[in-house]
Amino acid sequence: MSVPVNGGSRKGGESTTFEELYELHRPSLQRFALALTRDPDRADDLVQETFVRALRHLSRLAEMDDGHLRGWLFTVLRNVKRDEDRRTRFIVDYPYASHFPMEAGVSDLSNHLEWTDLLNRLPAELRAILVQRYWNGLNSREIAKRTGTNPSTVRSQVRRAIQMLQTEMTNGEYGTGGDV
């Protein structure tokens, strides 16, 4: 696609096409994304999303010189990463039923639904910490690194989440009176 991006920022006053913009800035954006993520696949995704957003804002890019355009691209990439980090900060996959102890006389499905309901009653942050600790097998230091908190804060949050689950099981509709 030969879409002119900025008219006059190249030698001789000729406009830069989107392809030229891509070829010029992709390598440095790729290095920056890799430094931010330390994951080549995620870095590729960030660079791709940055250029998708650039395509959406061609009229804005057409008014920028190369220096401002480069800064805009790097800012967009950093913001795309921040958005992804915010979206995925507390999303953790966990297979419920296979990790919970089964009570005598309770079917697997019923037990799965009870635990799912109990976990969903926890605040999202505490649920994510608990899942990372017990289902993903991370220690408090590893969780703290992922969430940007202190290991002691993580341990406190794990204790609070367990206490909340115990209280819910004792006083809630499940009424088992037992520990988690």
Topology (CATH) of 96-171: Arc Repressor Mutant, subunit A (1.10.10)
Q: Quick one: pLDDT at residue 179?
A: 43
**Continuous segment of H or E residues that includes residue 155:** helix 151-171
Q: Residue 178, SS3?
A: coil
* Per-domain residue ranges of the chain: 4-88, 96-171
Q: What's the one-letter identity of residue 106? A: V
Per the CB < 8 A criterion, the answer to whether 122 and 166 are in contact is: no
In this prediction, the residues of the chain whose per-residue pLDDT falls under 50 are 1-3, 7-12, 91-107, 109, 174-180
Q: Quick one: pLDDT at residue 45?
A: 94
Tokens 């799912």 belong to residue: 116
Write out pLDDT tens, residues 51-75. 999 999 888 888 888 889 999 999 9
CA 149/CA 147 separation, integer angstroms = 6
Q: Quick one: pLDDT at residue 102?
A: 41
CA 147/CA 129 separation, integer angstroms = 9
Residue 42 corresponds to which tokens in the numbers above? 């995620």
Topology (CATH) of 4-88: Rna Polymerase Sigma Factor; Chain: A (1.10.1740)
**Residue 8 main-chain phi, psi, to 5 deg:** 120, 5
As a 3-state breakdown, the chain gives helix, strand, coil percent values, each rounded to 5, of 70, 5, 25
| Burial of 171 per CB tally in 10 Å (0-12, 13-18, 19+) | exposed
Q: Quick one: pLDDT at residue 131?
A: 80
Q: Quick one: pLDDT at residue 27?
A: 96
Instruction: Judge whether 4-88 and 96-171 match in fold.
Output: no
